[in-house]
Structure 1
């Protein structure tokens, strides 16, 4: 009967860090499903889309930057009195355990001067700037003009 106790005595210290890690830091916010739709007119901005997920506590997205475009801004399309307008937004609240979609017809990114290297690679890295100081690096698939919306292939997070 000593053998089972000895195995437990040896295994318990190894299992302790795993048990404690389950009680560790709260789940962080993250971003996935990022993709960029290029404009047919190279002089016009591209549009960017993604889904931002809140962790165990709420988060706030303050902006997005990339080395692969000259300028990136967050915008929101709205319809008021039958007219659709677009306004720049400075931040977006992401609810705890919730999500905010940046999708065609709503919140989206505007990217001016997308780099030819990124276009030829078919993806570009975006850095999402969170209010708590976190920087989330995400690869966005680049969709060339004429491709059906949402047909972007695989989405990755880094």
Structure 2
């Protein structure tokens, strides 16, 4: 009887879908502009699984709140908009970069280039990525163009 229960659990465990392996690379937080309580985090999220996965939230103890955002062009004006999720394609990647998807950090405390910012990303499959992102000074938008795919 015990042997049968063990075999059943083994088969059930083997048939459970594996979590997507998502990796965050080239991540950083933009050093606050003078007088601004808000900033943004950027990175490339890579997914090696055969199915897409959604980034559904971000959190850090360093900010009052973190939101997933994108930029939209409306009537010739670039506007930021909050989004519910950001899809990371199967066997692909998505770039969170200036002028595109990013993580907005609101009412953040003092930032320093000497102190990395902790950031936890949550995916729709329940997986969490605990990151420690370097803080970098603002770069002109033109220097980021090489990251677009």
* The two structures share one fold, judged by TM-score above 0.5: yes
Correspondence for 2:104 among 94, 98, 110: 110
- Aligned pairs for 1:1-158 (under 5 A) are 28-56=21-49, 57-116=51-110, 119=112, 121-144=114-137, 147-149=138-140
Specify every segment of 5 or more residues in structure 1 that has no aligned partner in the other structure, as ranges.
1-24, 152-158
Inter-partner Cα distance in structure 2 for 1:44 and 1:37: 12
| Secondary structure in 2 matching 1:34 | strand
CA distance in 2, matches of 1:92, 1:27: 15
* SS in structure 2 at match of 1:41: coil
TM-score by length of 2: 0.73
Moved over 6 A (4+): none
Q: Retained in 2: the 8 A contact 1:38–1:45?
A: no
Indicate the structure (1 or 2) with the bigger Cα radius of gyration. 1
1:40 and 1:59 mapped to 2: Cα distance?
A: 33
**TM-score, structure 1 as length reference:** 0.69
Query: Equivalent residue for 2:146?
Result: none
Q: Which runs of 5+ in 2 are unaligned?
A: 1-17, 144-149
How big is the alpha-carbon RMSD for the aligned residues of Structure 1 and Structure 2? 2.2
Task: Work out the CA distance in 1 between the residues paired with 2:92 and 2:116.
Answer: 27
Aligned length: 124
